Structure 1
Amino acid sequence: MNWPFQRRALLVNGALGVLLAGGAGIAYLTLGDGGDGASAATRVSQVARGTVVSSVSASGSVESAKSRSLSFGASGTVAKIYVKAGQKVTAGDVLAKLDQTEALESVEAARANLAVASEGDTTSEKGYASYIQAKNSYNSALRSYQGTVLKAPFSGTVTTINGTVGGSSSGSGSSSSGSGSSGSSGSSGSSGSSAGGAGGSSSGSSSGTSSSSGFMELVDTKHLQIEGQFTEADTTKLKTGQTASVTFDALTGTTATGKVTAVGLSPTTTDNVVKFPATITLTKIPSGVRLGQTATVEITVARAEDVLYVPSAAVRTAGGQSTVTVVRNGKQETVQVEVGVKGDQGTEIKSGLNEGDQIAVTSTTSGTTGNTGQRNGFPGGGAPGGTGRGGLGGGGGRP
Structure 2
Amino acid sequence: MKLSTKRRTLIINGVLVVLLLGGIAAAWASVGDDTSGDGAAPLTTRVTRGTVLASVSASGSVESARTRALGFAVSGTVEAVLVETGDRVKKGQVLARIDDTAARESLEAARASLDAAEEADTSTASGYSQYINARNAYRSAKRALAGTVIKAPFAGVVTAVNGAVGGSSGASGGSSQGGQAQSQNGSTGSAGSAGSGGSSGSAGSGGFIEIADPARLRIVGNFTEADVGRIKVGQAATVSFDALAGVTASGKVTVVDPQPQTSNNVVQYAVTISLTDVPSTVRLGQTATARVTVGEAADVLTVASAAVTTAGGRTTVTVLENGRQVVKRVEVGIKGDTTTEIKSGLREGDQVVRPRTSTTGGGGGIQFPGGGGGFGRGFGGGGGNR
TM-score (norm 2): 0.70
Please point out which of 241, 245, 248 is paired with 2:234.
241
For 1:1-399, list aligned pairs within 5 A.
Answer: 43-49=42-48, 50-171=50-171, 172-173=174-175, 176=181, 213-318=206-311, 320-328=313-321, 332-362=325-355
Whole-angstrom CA distance in 2 between matches of 1:102 and 1:121: 30
- Percent of aligned pairs with the same residue? 53
- Segments of structure 2 that go 5 or more residues without pairing to the other structure are 10-36, 192-203, 362-386
Q: Using the alignment, how far apart are the partners of 1:170 and 1:73 within structure 2?
A: 9
Q: Could you list the structure 1 runs, at least 4 aligned residues long, displaced by more than 6 angstroms after superposition.
A: 178-181
Q: Distance in 2 between matches of 1:367 and 1:280?
A: 47
| 1:263, distance to aligned residue in structure 2 (A) | 2.4
- Which of structures 1 and 2 has the bigger CA Rg? 2
Q: Output the CA distance in 2 between the equivalents of 1:365 and 1:273.
A: 34
CA–CA distance in structure 2, aligned partners of residues 291 and 106 of structure 1:
42
Matched-pair contact (CA < 8 Å) for 2:332–2:342: yes
Q: What is the deviation of 1:44?
A: 4.4
- Distance in 2 separating the partners of 1:118 and 1:336: 92
- Alignment correspondent of 2:12: none
Contact 1:87-1:158 within 8 A present in 2 as well: yes
The question of whether the paired residues in 2 share the 8 Å contact of 1:68 and 1:174 is answered with no
**Alpha-carbon deviation of 1:166?**
0.9
Q: Are the aligned partners of 1:69 and 1:174 in contact in 2 as well (CA < 8 Å)?
A: no
Q: CA RMSD in A?
A: 3.3
237-246 vs 224-233, which moves further: 237-246
Partner of 2:383: none
Q: Per-residue deviation at 1:229? A: 1.4
Code of the aligned partner of 1:136:
N
CA deviations 1:31-89 (Å, max 9, x no partner) are xxxxxxxxx99954244203322121111100012110001111111111222222211
1:67/1:177 contact within 8 Å kept: no
Q: Which has the higher contact order (CA 8 A, sep 6+)?
A: 1
Structure 1 residue 333, shift from structure 2 partner: 4.3
Match of 2:27 in 1: none
Paired residues of 1:180 and 1:219 also in contact (CA < 8 A): no
Q: Provide, for residues 170-228 of structure 1, a one-character-per-residue CA deviation record: whole Å limited to 9, x for no partner.
A: 324566456699x9xxxxxxxxxxxxxxxxxxxxxxxxxxx761000111112211111
Cα deviation, 1:131-185, whole Å, max 9, x if unaligned, reads 222222222111111111111111111121111111101324566456699x9xx
- The answer to whether the 8 Å contact 2:47/2:351 transfers is no
* Structure 1 counterpart SS, 2:74: coil
Instruction: Give the Å deviation of 1:327.
Output: 4.5
Distance 2:330 2:274 in 1: 39
Query: Contact 1:83 / 1:96 at 8 angstroms: preserved in 2?
Result: yes
CA contact (8 A) 1:162 1:212 kept: no
1 CA distance for matches of 2:294 and 2:287?
Answer: 22
Q: Does the C-alpha gap of structure 1 residues 168 and 327 become closer, same or farther in structure 2, counting only changes over 3 Å?
A: same
Pairs aligned (count): 309
Distance across 1 between alignment mates of 2:44 and 2:297: 20
1:296 partner SS: strand
Structure 1 residue identity aligned to 2:44 = S
Q: 1:276 to 1:312 in 2, by over 3 A?
A: same
Deviates more, 1:161-170 or 1:329-338: 329-338
Letter in 2 for 1:271: N
- Higher mean C-alpha deviation, range 153-162 or range 248-257: 248-257
Q: Evaluate the alpha carbon distance shift between residue 367 and residue 161 of structure 1 in structure 2; reply closer, same or farther with a 3 A threshold.
A: farther
Aligned amino acid, residue 236 of structure 1: G
Do 1:46 and 1:356's aligned partners in 2 also have CA atoms closer than 8 Å? Answer: no
Cα distance change, pair 71–246 in 1 and its aligned pair in 2 (3 A): same
Question: Structure 1 CA distance, aligned partners of 2:148 and 2:182?
Answer: 23
* Rounded Cα–Cα distance in structure 2 between residues aligned with 1:311 and 1:317: 14
